[in-house]
Amino acid sequence: MSDNLELFREDRPAEPRVWTVRQVNRAVRLLLEQTLPQLWVTGEVANFRRQRSGHCYFTLRDNAAQLSCVMFRREAARLPTDPEEGMTLRLFGGLTLYEARGGYQFVVNRLEAEDAGGIWKLAFDRLRRKLDAEGLTDPARRRELPEFPRAVGVVTSPDGAALRDIVAVTRRRAPWLHLLVCGTRVQGRGAAAEIASAIGAVAARGVDLVVVARGGGSLEDLWEFNEEAVARAVAGCPVPVVSGVGHETDVTICDLVADLRAATPSAAAEAVAPDRSALTRRLDGLRQRLARGLGAQARARRWRVQRVGEKLVGGVRRVAGGREDRLAAAAAAMHALSPVATMARGYAVPLDTRGRLLRARRDFTPARRFGLRVVDGSVRCIVAQENGR
């Protein structure tokens, strides 16, 4: 640095050294970088531009002045979204000089909105509006969870408290439930892509539903679950997804597109694991209802059989009684027409010795033997003489 700052020394020679433009700019750059500490500066953002290289350029201004700023690709990649025009920002970084143009600029290492979480809230709202327009946050598209799942996929950190809570709850409530854990990072650069990939991978293993979980943290800690890649993986999952990210007060984009939002990872486990005790009570209740129902049904059918039997017996009796009456009437009619009834009125029937009916006077020749049938028997007779008339 001493060579580059020779221009500023008190004991310079009588004949001044001639500097090149590059040397001057480099000396000024080093002076700025080495004498001014890193600092915070606040102002309104203007003309924010994100280049294809990933670097961001913008102006920070107030009522009296403006400052050119640059945020290089590494730091810019941490931004959840680009700040809006006129948004008040707080920047942390240091001054430097861009030697090629001779203009100084503020190199930003960290960017924050003046209100806490402002830049994050802006990114959240932008993505939510986009997903709302596509219908991905519409409650009508949410699917019902299977009542009795056999296998549940879990996407979370393999070393986090969230997984321990989920395992503890499912073992207590439904020890038969199979958990297929797909461990992934849940925070840091690239974690969102890992989470999205894990959701697709575990869903392809034949699980009945997927739980996406993470313990509590700050808005920035939970930000991976506000990334578009995670939101689209959840929305496109072929089986229902339960989001159990953070605590009850934390709301993420993942929560909004999931089929069910649980306040905590433990609550997510309770939502997917049927309670063994509750199932036992339910089965007991169903068993009692079944017994009562079968008893009532048996009594009802017994009563119906009894009624049918009574109707059948009554019908048979009516039919038999009617036929008996008709038979009696027929018998009476037949009796009235029978010779016996006639004989009972004092008539007799003459029959020859062969039992043939003697009808006319010519059948009664003198000395002919014949029988006379009367009501209580028969009488043998002989014709004494023929009546002349």
* pLDDT, tens digit (0-9, with 9 covering 90-100), for 341-377: 777 777 788 888 887 877 887 878 888 888 878 778 8
Q: How far apart, in whole angstroms, are the C-alpha atoms of residue 221 and residue 238?
A: 28
Q: DSSP state, 357?
A: B
State the Cα angle at 88 between 83 and 90, rounded to 5°: 90
Q: Report how far Cα 180 is from the mean position of its chain's Cα atoms.
A: 19
Q: DSSP state, 58?
A: E
Strand order in the sheet with 178-183: 178-183, 151-156, 209-214, 241-245, 260-261
Q: pLDDT for 193-233, tens place per residue?
A: 999 999 999 999 999 999 999 988 888 888 899 999 999 99
Q: Please say if the pLDDT value at position 388 is more than 60.
A: no
Q: What is the largest CA-CA distance in the chain?
A: 209
Tell me how long the chain is.
Answer: 389
Q: pLDDT for 94-124, tens place per residue?
A: 888 888 888 889 999 998 887 766 788 888 8
Domain ranges, ordered by start, for the chain: 6-114, 122-277, 340-382
- For the domain bounded by 122-277, which CATH number is listed? 3.40.50.261
- In words, the CATH class of domain 6-114 is mainly beta
Q: Is residue 120 classed as helix, strand or coil in its secondary structure? A: helix
Q: pLDDT for 285-337, tens place per residue?
A: 677 788 777 777 878 888 888 888 778 877 777 777 777 778 877 777 776 66
- State the pLDDT confidence band at 260, using cuts at 50, 70 and 90: very high
